[in-house]
Homo-oligomer: A and B are copies of this chain.
C-alpha cells in the first residue's frame, strides 16, 4: 500500500468514527442528567487520532466483518480511552489542565463531575455494545468474548493497573524493565484490545489472534516510546498538552531510562517487530504494517 493509500484509509475510518460518535453524543437520552451528558460528550468530542476505534474497525475488516458491525465496539474503546484520560488528568493524579489543546474535563466541570463522567463512560463502553450488537445477527459467544477483551484491558490487569504503576510511588521501581511493564499495562493493553476485540467479533482463527496480539504489544511499546520522546522534544502547540510533564513528575519514561538516542532505536525496533508479527495473520494486514511505520516516523 502506498503512503497516500494508508492515510486515505485511516482518514476514512476516522471520519466514520467521528460521525458515529457524534450521532451517539447528540442522541437524546431521557434518564441521563444533562450536565453528566455534557461532561461525557465534551471529552468524547475533544479530538484525538481515534486510533483505537480505527484499529478495531480495521481488524474486523481483515476477517470480513463490515464496519457497521464493529463500530459499537470501536466507540466503546474510545469511551474507555477517554474515561482513562479524564481520570488521569485529575488533580489527584497527573493534575493536567490541558489535553489536546483544550481545558481538561475537571477544569470545566469540576472534580466530582469529571470522576463521574469517567465512571459513566466506562459503564457505557459495556452498555452500548451489549445493547446493539445482539440485534445485528452476530453470534452471542463472540459478543461475550469481545466484551471480555475490553473488560480485561480496562481492569486491574490492564489500564487501571498500569496507571497505578505510573503514579503510585510505592508501586514504582528503578529497573530498566519498569517502563516496559508500565507500557504493557497502560498503553499496549488497549491498543492490543482494540485489534483483538474487532478480530474476535469477526470470528478470526486462533493463530491470527495470537499474531495480532503480538503486533498490538509491539505497536503499543513503539507508541509509548514515541510519546515519551515527543514529551521532551515538542512544544505545547505541537503536542496539544503540556510538554515536559513526565520529567517534572518524575515519571519512569523510556527517555529517562535509556536516553533519547537509545529510545529512538527502541521505537524503531518495536515498530519492526510489530510488522514481523503480522506475518502470522491469515488476511490482508497492509494497513497495520503501514500504521506501525507511520507511527514511528513521528519521532524523526
Contact = CB atoms under 8 A, between A and B. Distances in A.
A143 interface: yes
A163 B119 CA distance: 11
Interface in A143-163: 143-145, 147-148, 150-152, 154-158, 160-161, 163
Contact of A29 (B156, B171, B185): B156
A164 interface: yes
Contacts of A158: 123
Interface string A123-159: 1101100110110000111011101101110111110
A273 interface: no
Among A34, A87, A148, the most chain B Cβ lie within 10 Å of the Cβ of A148
The copy count of this chain in the complex is 2
Judged by DSSP, the binding face of A is: helix
B161 A32 contact: yes
A161 B134 CA distance: 25
Contact of A126 (B110, B115, B124, B126): B126
Contacts of A154: 119, 123, 127
A116 B40 contact: no
Interface string A152-190: 101111101101110110110000000000000100000
B123 A134 contact: no
A134 B36 CA distance: 34
Contacts of A150: 126
Contacts of A111: 92
Contacts of A168: 33, 35-36, 112-113
A185 B36 CA distance: 13
Given A29-B157, A141-B134, A143-B144, A122 B122 contact: yes
Given A36-B156, A168-B33, A118 B120 contact: no
B171 A120 contact: no
A119 to B, nearest CB: 5
Given A31-B157, A33-B164, 8 more contacts: A92-B112, A120-B156, A123-B154, A123-B156, A126-B148, A126-B151, A133-B144, A143-B144
23 contacts: A29-B156, A32-B161, A33-B171, A35-B168, A36-B161, A36-B171, A87-B119, A92-B111, A112-B168, A113-B164, A116-B163, A118-B119, A119-B154, A120-B156, A122-B122, A122-B123, A123-B158, A126-B150, A126-B151, A127-B148, A127-B152, A127-B154, A131-B152
Closest 10 CB pairs of A and B: A140-B140, A123-B155, A127-B151, A92-B111, A120-B160, A126-B151, A130-B148, A123-B154, A31-B157, A140-B141
